[in-house]
Amino acid sequence: MTLTSLPEWSNLRRHRDSFAHRKLRDLFAEDPQRGDHLAAEYDGIYLDYAKNRITRETLPLLVALAEARGLRSGIDAMFSAERINSTEGRPVLHTALRAPRGASVLVDGDNVVPHVHEVLDRMGAFADKLRRGSWKGHSGRPIRNVVNIGIGGSDLGPAMAYQALRAISDPGLNVSFVSNVDGHDIAGVLDGKDPAETLFIVSSKTFTTVETLTNARTARRWLLSQAGSPSAIRHHFVAVSTNTVAVEAFGIDASNMFEFWDWVGGRYSLHSAIGLSLMVAIGPVNFREMLDGARSIDEHFQTAPLEQNLPVLLGLLGIWNRNFLGSHTHAVLPYDQRLNRFPAYLQQLDMESNGKSIDRDGKPVAIDTAPIVWGEPGTNGQHAYYQMLHQGTTPVPCDFIGVLRPSVDLLEHHELLMANLFAQAEALAFGRTLGEVAATDNMGHPEHRTFRGNRPSNTLLIPELNAYRLGQLIALYEHKIFTQGWIWGVNSFDQWGVELGKVMASRIADEIHSFDGQLAGHDSSTTALIARYCRARQEGILV
Ligand code: F6P
């Protein structure tokens, strides 16, 4: 049965229509305990979802939908290594990356958990050596700069987590990230660094990604321009990949390679060796704490009843907002500057996973899938786009993320920050009526100063931001996305949608390279753009 023909789907539509006229104001007024009832907590994470446009009847109906779609068996299928990534014929086992030593997860009869820990141990030994200064560059000097070269899942996760956990990073090591094929990225990172003290971690699941290989070749030339002999490479380059042949072909010895496996999706790979740059920064002990945090949510996701299961709740509320209330976008608003890359990280996680319009059976989906995910830390966003959140024509469901205890001793700042978080969620939900404006001031233009309210949000509160809590947050959203993808019936673990642009870029790069005044096979707009660029190049306008 298709999703929309399920009775559970129709029940939800009827339910939505039954209280469409009631606003969040009314719902709170009718149910004084709403804030306590529509909240859930697990292992320090508190989720308030009372400011969604739901009643106490909504959640059981959403849970019934999840059950009708077999969410529970989907979760079991993922954890037990069934090949749920059907278009690539692979299991989906980022959860095995945080399984404890001694656990067993079988892929084709082979327990993968010992391999996971073997690589973690090697990563730990390498990270310790770098952190102690006993890994030396070609001239015998210790490494002071570590540069991760990768893109997408091989960049966003470690870069986001490094920003989040800088407070516990080794101050003696300067860790940077290069992702964009735009040369300004790598040029900016290399500027002022000494090759003799710089180590590159080339991170690429496939080791075929053109951006990463182009940056890695530039880095290699930069090193060799000082070091001279290619024998220096082994002191300054390590690789993280599933593709040993390509790593060796690049010139990195397999003994300098940290492996992971095709059952780890790129955007789900932070907890694999792709996290090496992060581990170097924060140390192996903290890295393992991050895995412990993620494992705590894995266990919860597997075992908690659906109606108290935090990732399931987030997923179901997302479906409610997207499919029943028609929201197109979803804002992630961390009220913590350390999480400033978290929205960007979630964009890939969510939109590359569920941005699909063909279902697992190869048929077009009949519903909207991934919303546009975006965001920026508070309070900065308040002085930029919150105007639209409050008074624009398109309601945007928001996730506010707050941290109870900051790691800097500036209480005045923190109290203002948290006050703003609470105020924004409250203002979005309740708004301000014309009567309230009139009662509080007479500054004129009262209609411009009313707020419709009724704008949904979740608020997540975590006790502090450390490696464990970050691991929890990551797994929370990973499983939220799983929940949605499973219910929508899409394969959340492939990404064929990125291929077409890559193929076309490669062809255009060849055409630019051999441009002789003629271009064929493009539309008139693209032809004019390429020709304009090529002429600028010929005229030496480009440096
Ligand atoms: O182009 C998209 C993508 O395949 C992502 O899924 C992936 O995270 C990124 O490119 C980088 O891929 P790789 O790690 O193989 O270099």
Atom 9, ligand 1: residue with shortest CA distance: 152
Confidence of residue 539 (pLDDT cuts 50, 70, 90): confident
| Number of the ligand 1 atom closest to the C-alpha atom of 150 | 16
352 part of the active site: yes
For ligand 1, atom 8, name the residue with the nearest CA: 153
Mean pLDDT for 439-447 is 86
Note if 414 is an active site residue.
no
Q: How large is the greatest C-alpha to C-alpha distance in the chain, in angstroms?
A: 78
pLDDT band at 273 (very low <50, low <70, confident <90, very high): very high
Count CB neighbours of 530 within 10 A.
Answer: 16
**Strand pairing partners for 47?**
40, 460
Average pLDDT for 60-69: 98
For 309, 375, 398, 472, the CA distances from 46, given in Å and listed in that order, are: 11, 21, 16, 12
Question: Using one digit for the tens of pLDDT, what is the confidence trace for 229-252?
Answer: 999 999 999 999 999 999 999 999
Closest CA to 318 of 358, 348, 344, 354: 354
Q: Which residue has the higher pLDDT, 438 or 44?
A: 44
Catalytic residue among 37, 328, 363, 502: 502
* Residue 209 Cβ contacting ligand 1 at under 6 Å: yes
pLDDT value at residue 540: 79
The residue whose C-alpha atom lies closest to atom 5 belonging to ligand 1 is 152
Asked if pLDDT for residue 543 goes beyond 60, the answer is: no
The active-site residue, picked from 352, 356, 376, 478, is: 352
Ligand 1 atom at shortest distance from the alpha carbon of 498: 1
**What integer is the mean pLDDT of 25-40?**
97
Location of structure tokens 């954890």: 79
| 259 touches 242 (CB < 8 A) | yes
Report the residue count for the chain: 543
What average pLDDT does this structure show over 118-124? 98
Q: Could you tell me the pTM of the whole model?
A: 0.97
Taking only the tens place, the pLDDT of each residue in 292-314 is 999 999 999 999 999 999 999 99
DSSP string, 403-450: EEE-SSS-HHHHHHHHHHHHHHHHHHHH-B-HHHHHHH---S-GGGG-
DSSP output for 186-243? HHHHHTT--GGGEEEEEE-SSS--HHHHHHHHHHHHHHHHHH-SGGGHHHHEEEEES-
For 25-44, give the secondary structure using H, E and C. HHHHHHCCCHHHHCEEEECC
Q: How confident is the model at residue 102 (pLDDT cuts 50, 70, 90)?
A: very high
| Interval 352-386: pLDDT, tens | 999 999 999 999 999 999 999 999 999 999 999 99
Active site residue 271: no
Q: What is the mean pLDDT of the chain?
A: 97
Task: For residue 267, name the pLDDT band (cuts at 50, 70, 90).
Answer: very high
- For residue 206, give the ligand 1 atom closest to its CA: 15
Structure tokens, 448:
């411009």
Q: Report strand pairing: 110-111 vs 106-107.
A: antiparallel
Distance 283 CA to ligand 1 centre (A): 25
How does residue 84 score in pLDDT terms, banded at 50, 70 and 90? very high
pLDDT value, residue 21:
93
Residue 95: is its pLDDT beyond 70?
A: yes
Local structure of residue 466 (DSSP, 8 states): S
pLDDT (tens digit per residue) in 139-197: 999 999 999 999 999 999 999 999 999 999 999 999 999 999 999 999 999 999 999 99
Give 368 Cα–ligand 1 centroid separation in angstroms: 25
Whether residue 53 has pLDDT greater than 90: yes
| pLDDT the model gives residue 541 | 61
**CA pseudo-torsion sign 347, 348, 353, 356:** positive
pLDDT bin (cut points 50, 70, 90) of residue 441 is confident
Active-site pick, 383, 445, 448, 513? 383
Q: What is the C-alpha to C-alpha distance for residues 49 and 38, in angstroms, rounded to an integer?
A: 6
Residue 542 is predicted with a pLDDT of 58
Residue range 34-38: mean pLDDT, rounded: 97
Does 413 score more than 60 pLDDT?
Answer: yes
Q: What pairs with residue 184 in β-bridges?
A: none
Task: Give pLDDT, residue 435.
Answer: 92
pLDDT at 330: 98
